[in-house]
Amino acid sequence: MVAFSAVILAVLPYVTLKVMWLMGSTLGLTPGLASNHMQDPRLVVGNAITIGLEIIALGLAVALIKPWGRRVPGWLVLLTAGGATGLLAPVLLGLPPGLILQLLVDGTMTTGDEGGMRQWVFIVVYSSFGLLAMALACLFAIYAGDRWRRLLSHQPQRPPLRLVLACSPGIVVFGTAMISWGVTGPGDTGPQGLTSIAQRTPLIATGILALLGWAVPLLPKLMSLHPRAAWLAMWTGVATAALQGPAHILLAHGGIGEPIVTTLAIIATLSASVYGLSVLSRAHPARVLPTNDTAGQTSSTAAPAIG
């Protein structure tokens, strides 16, 4: 219940602030640009979408703690949890060290560009993201450990070679590009507007996670030592590679995405999705879905299904 309370604590101030902006409030906005443009259709749609995502996250948290949540189709749980993982993991793992490093280098802990928002809004928003990420991670770890205990006791399996060859370039190039842009800056080709240290460290986290998620299923000896850690790395990395690309497209600076970022994002999303689904499907090559007529005939040795 502590983790679920943390989810509520993370969602409530964020959604409240967004709803107030949709209603015309200028709370937390600096006079001028931000206040004048808050009713811009692009920002209105963006705020509405993020409110919806927060509500979905809250619904996921409820499902993860309720007994009926074990009866929700596995694909729906994995899809929702994967979305949350891919969107929040780089923020949780990349922003805190970036803020600390920026404090040491520049003497400030802001991103350098809050988009016309006051500093306390930045603190509230990203603190909410971090708290939500940690709380959902705890709830999902408990849920998955209970529902898919047998699956997690065995290491992820490498996808077929043809899929590895087809998917690897998209994931590896995307991950490498993100690390490069995070270290050296976006330049003219990377995600624009991300110039401060604290803005670029999530890019580095994105790249590292994407490469880690791709590499783990290819290292069977290492995975066999810690199967659950292998699943965690694969899950987080593949979800990040699949979700961060679309996020960068939708949140492009000024609403205009760079062609290279857009191209890499689309390829990485498709590649990571196919790659991750292949790993999950190979975890249960013989999926068993008993019905009322066949439940009694199902072999007790059959692998547990992700269902």
DSSP secondary structure, 65-107, as one string: HSGGGGGS-HHHHHHHHHHHHHHHHHHHHHHHHHHHHHHHHHS
pLDDT digits (tens, 9 = 90+) for 126-148: 899 999 999 999 999 999 999 99
Q: Are 89 and 201 in contact (CB under 8 A)?
A: no
Can you give the pLDDT at residue 194?
83
Question: Using the 8-state DSSP alphabet, how is residue 158 labeled?
Answer: P
Q: Are 250 and 227 in contact (CB under 8 A)?
A: no
Q: Which residues contact 67 (CB under 8 A, 6 or more apart)?
A: none
> With a cut of 70, which residues of the chain have pLDDT below it?
32-37, 110-115, 284-307
With CA atoms as reference, report the closest residue to 283 among 202, 199, 227. 227
pLDDT digits (tens, 9 = 90+) for 258-282: 899 999 999 999 999 999 999 998 8
Can you give the pLDDT at residue 271?
98
For the chain, domain boundaries: 1-147, 150-287+299-307
Can you give the pLDDT at residue 81?
96
Q: Are 234 and 210 in contact (CB under 8 A)?
A: no
Q: What is the pTM of this model?
A: 0.88
Can you give the pLDDT at residue 187?
86
